């Protein structure tokens, strides 16, 4: 656009732009809105599965306008995929943060640390395993997408570590894939079924001392005695 100066000459003017500070605030609000939607979506999909989940219920739990789900994620299917990326991303981020500076650490310590961190994350985000149970019952296409994009790369690394641990006598013998799933079941069931467990045992599975005892008990089932000492 153009404007006219005091002497009548035309001068070029640039379009008005939002001040950088205001733009940063808007970007931060958008990030916070997406995070709130994803956290609510994880709870909804974990509890009800894809078909039973309601985007309006997700919006209510996130305390946002329902239209913002469409604005940020497009549709329910894309929101489900974004939710999977969100929760697996949280786990990977925790792993990377914990493993920084551990190059050269002995294999037994690394193995214990890997198993311990998985249990700690399971206690922190029990919705991950409920989400996975629902995904296994929600149709082949969605499960295949989840395996290809989020499970397969991690499983390959897990199996490599487990085989090496078996070769060095640190881990019980048996098919590594079977052991992996046995470990997941043992590690996560008290958190996935937390209400049932608390009712039956009168113990809170999310109590800090309980979690530490649970970790040691689970590790004792899978690590060989010489590598099972704290």
| Amino acid 51: pLDDT | 94
**Contact by Cβ (8 Å): 45, 53:** yes
Q: Strand runs (DSSP E) across 41-191, as ranges? A: none
Q: Does domain 20-77 have CATH number 1.10.10.60?
A: yes
Domain ranges, ordered by start, for the chain: 20-77, 101-230
| Amino acid 130: pLDDT | 95
pLDDT tens digits, one per residue of 115-152: 999 999 999 999 999 999 999 987 889 999 999 999 99
178-203: string of b/e by CB count within 10 Å (b at 16+)?
ebbeebbebbbebbbbeeebeeeeee
List for the chain the helix, strand, coil content (%; round to 5): 75, 5, 20
Place of tokens 């991303």: 89
Reported pTM: 0.81
Which residues of the chain, if any, have pLDDT below 70? 1-19, 26, 101-104, 226-230
The residues, any chain, with a CB within 8 Å of residue 41's CB and separated by 6 or more, are 53, 58, 62, 79, 80, 82, 83
| Amino acid 228: pLDDT | 56
Q: Does domain 101-230 have CATH number 1.10.357.10?
A: yes
Tokens, residue 222: 């899978």
Maximum Cα–Cα distance across the chain: 92
């Amino acid at each position: 656009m153009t404007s006219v100066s005091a002497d009548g000459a035309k001068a070029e003017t640039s379009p008005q732009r939002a001040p950088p500070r205001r733009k940063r605030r808007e970007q931060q609000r958008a990030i916070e809105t997406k995070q709130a939607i994803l956290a609510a979506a994880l709870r909804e999909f974990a509890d009800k599965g894809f078909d039973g989940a309601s985007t309006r219920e997700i919006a209510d739990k996130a305390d946002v306008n329902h239209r913002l789900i469409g604005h940020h994620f497009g549709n329910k299917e894309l929101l489900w995929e974004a939710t999977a990326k969100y929760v697996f991303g949280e786990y990977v981020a925790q792993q990377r943060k914990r493993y920084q500076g551990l190059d050269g650490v002995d294999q037994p310590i690394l193995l214990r640390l890997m198993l311990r961190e998985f249990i700690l994350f399971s206690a922190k985000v029990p919705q991950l395993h409920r989400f996975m149970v629902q995904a296994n019952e929600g149709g082949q296409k969605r499960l295949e997408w989840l395996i290809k994009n989020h499970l397969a790369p991690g499983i390959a690394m897990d199996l490599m570590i487990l085989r090496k641990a078996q070769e060095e006598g640190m881990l019980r013998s048996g098919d590594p894939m079977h052991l992996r799933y046995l470990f997941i079941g043992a590690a996560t069931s008290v958190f996935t079924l937390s209400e049932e467990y608390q009712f039956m045992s009168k113990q809170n599975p999310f109590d800090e001392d309980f979690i530490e005892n649970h970790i040691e008990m689970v590790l004792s089932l899978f690590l060989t005695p010489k590598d099972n000492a704290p």
